[in-house]
Structure 1
Amino acid sequence: MQIRHTTNPTDVKAYTTERLRSEFLIESLFVEDQLKLTYTHYDRMIVGGAVPVKGSIELSAGDALKTEYFLERREVALLNIGGEALIAVDGETHELSRLDALYVGMGAKNVTLQSKDTANPARIYICSALAHATYPTRKISVETANPLHLGSIETSNERTIYQYIHADGVQSCQLMLGVTCLKPGNVWNTMPAHVHDRRMEAYLYFDVKPESRVFHFMGEPSETRHLVVANEQAVISPPWSVHSGAGTGNYSFIWSMAGENYTFKDMDIVPMDTLK
């Protein structure tokens, strides 16, 4: 498991491109038959990925968490962006199609990930946060997620936000998760930008064509930076940072949040005339 420590926004102003990428970009999440995890000290979120091919992969952090099992003091969301997935939670198996998600609450001891068809393996995104209570395991499909249709073709940001785990949907302690899909011909995922100083966020960009890239904007509103992101790479967004992106083509991304407040609307909009 990689460990990423928190950073000071004043110091980040002096970071090189290489340093920015090493602190905030997760370049490799999906490797066949490996569990790839990154632990960030921003709200203690764990972000990862798994591609089970030859057999099942156990959700385990080894001795990194100093707990008996992964979900002893945590909750987790698992969202599939590949072929059919089979996820077993303490002996009960859940089948996930593409863009289906599974929430697993604190206390589940054995979680294993497997592909239904090894010729078309699952690609399972993993997002975990600390928990203080146990909520039941729930499967969420994209058809049952709450859709928000935002933006327009005139502003190049026509998109649908699917809310999976949130205050009015599947319940959790603090983890929130959903998927945003941009319509063809649209490139901006959020603008005007915003910050939410009470919680951090992670983005996993996917459905990015091999020849395309997403320019992810970050930093304080008065001192923005950017990361150039390829397909299936993730970004750690600190609470003090804007998080907005523009692509060379349309794309999708999974967003997940953890922190102080459990409401989707807890954000501070940054007016365009103050963004620099």
Structure 2
Amino acid sequence: MLSVETRHAIDPTTAKGLDTSGLRAHFHAGGLFAEGEIRLIYTHYDRLIMGAAVPAGGSLTLDHVAECGTASILDRREMGILNIGETGTVSAAGTDHAVRKGEVLYLGMGSGPVTFSGDGRFYVLSAPAHRACPSRLIRKEDARRVEMGAAETSNKRVILQFLHPEVAESCQLLMGYTQFAEGSVWNTMPAHLHDRRTEAYLYFGLGPEQRVFHIMGRPDETRHILMANEDAVISPPWSIHCGAGTGAYTFCWAMAGDNVDFTDMDMVAMGELR
């Protein structure tokens, strides 16, 4: 079963007037992981698609998506797939990929229909592409590892970069995830933004009673959205993105836009936040 929801882009002036339900309607994405289903959100922010496929021991095929305007979803797109569940199989272009928990599969433009099977819980990101790059399964040990923060500032974490120019070639999609040490909860403070690309986050590894306060908005008009386990959020180019949780957590980040320079960001001093 396939379902697709469209999210239109809105400007920061409109966003600052939204109440809690309005913010969640535009930016929050819950309930993506449904057994036996593929659920996608097609955003008008850099035409990024985010969603999930949960075959639940069976098989699900992602092929025609009307919103893409092509016969098959990857005719003019690329895709990154993160498995946050048990080992599962992703099949595309005649190749079966056994994807273990914490691994990322990259599928280049023209890879054809994508079939998900087994016990995986697959998080799916897709961006438009203008050239075909080689498909590749990226193991955790192959990811670029960046350690940041400290226990004293409650932000000790490791960033694992999978779709990154130094790891695996892509057209415009960047993707990886950040894991926090026990006792660390703050991410990306001081905050930053990057007007040249959209970002999306999936928060996972949270207990049933845990939450993450995802902070967004212009630096002088901040808002927050409460995130539960396996909730995702759209972070538009004009918005900061940072957060704090009630305990350690992991989040997957993905970006699409004008460039693939991971460090291309505009820092915001703490004193500028309101």
TM-score, normalisation: structure 2: 0.97
Following TM superposition, by how much is the alpha carbon of 1:62 offset from its aligned partner in structure 2, in angstroms? 3.3
- Measure the CA separation in 1 of the matches of 2:72 and 2:253: 25
Call closer, same or farther: CA 1:25–1:61 in 2, change over 3 Å.
farther
* Alpha-carbon distance between aligned partners in 2 of 1:230 and 1:54, rounded to the nearest angstrom: 25
Residue correspondences, number: 271
SS of the counterpart of 1:273?
helix
Equivalent residue runs for 1:158-197 within 5 Å: 158-197=156-195
Q: Which runs of 5+ in 2 are unaligned?
A: none
* CA deviation map 1:183-242 (0-9, x unaligned): 000001210000000001000000011110000000000110000000000000000000
For the residue of structure 1 that corresponds to 2:141, the secondary structure is coil
For the aligned residue pairs, the C-alpha RMSD in angstroms reads 0.8
2:196 aligned partner = 198
- How far apart, in 1, do the equivalents of 2:15 and 2:66 lie? 31
Equivalent positions of 1:96-245 (< 5 A) are 96-115=99-118, 121-245=119-243
Q: Is the 8 A contact 2:175 2:254 kept in 1?
A: yes
Conserved? CA contact 2:63–2:112, under 8 Å: no
Structure 1 counterpart SS, 2:171: coil
1:55 counterpart residue number: 58
Residue of structure 1 in register with 2:263 after alignment: 265
Shift of 1:64: 2.3
- Report the alpha carbon displacement of residue 54 of structure 1 after superposing the two structures with TM: 4.7
Contact 2:42 2:67 in 1 (8 A): no
Determine if contact 2:64/2:71 at 8 Å carries over to the other structure: no
Name the SS of the counterpart of 2:239 in structure 1: coil
For the pair 1:12 / 2:10, whether they are aligned, the reply is no
Look up the equivalent residue of 1:16 and give its one-letter code.
Answer: D
TM-fit CA distance, 1:272: 0.6
Q: 2:142·2:167 contact (CA, 8 Å) conserved in 1?
A: no
Once residues 189 and 97 of structure 1 are traced to their aligned partners in structure 2, the CA distance between those partners, rounded to angstroms, is: 26
TM-score (ref. length: structure 1): 0.97
* Percent sequence identity over aligned pairs: 49
Deviation at 1:95, TM superposition (A): 0.4
Question: C-alpha distance in 1, partners of 2:197/2:57?
Answer: 37
Structure 1 unaligned regions, length at least 5: 116-120
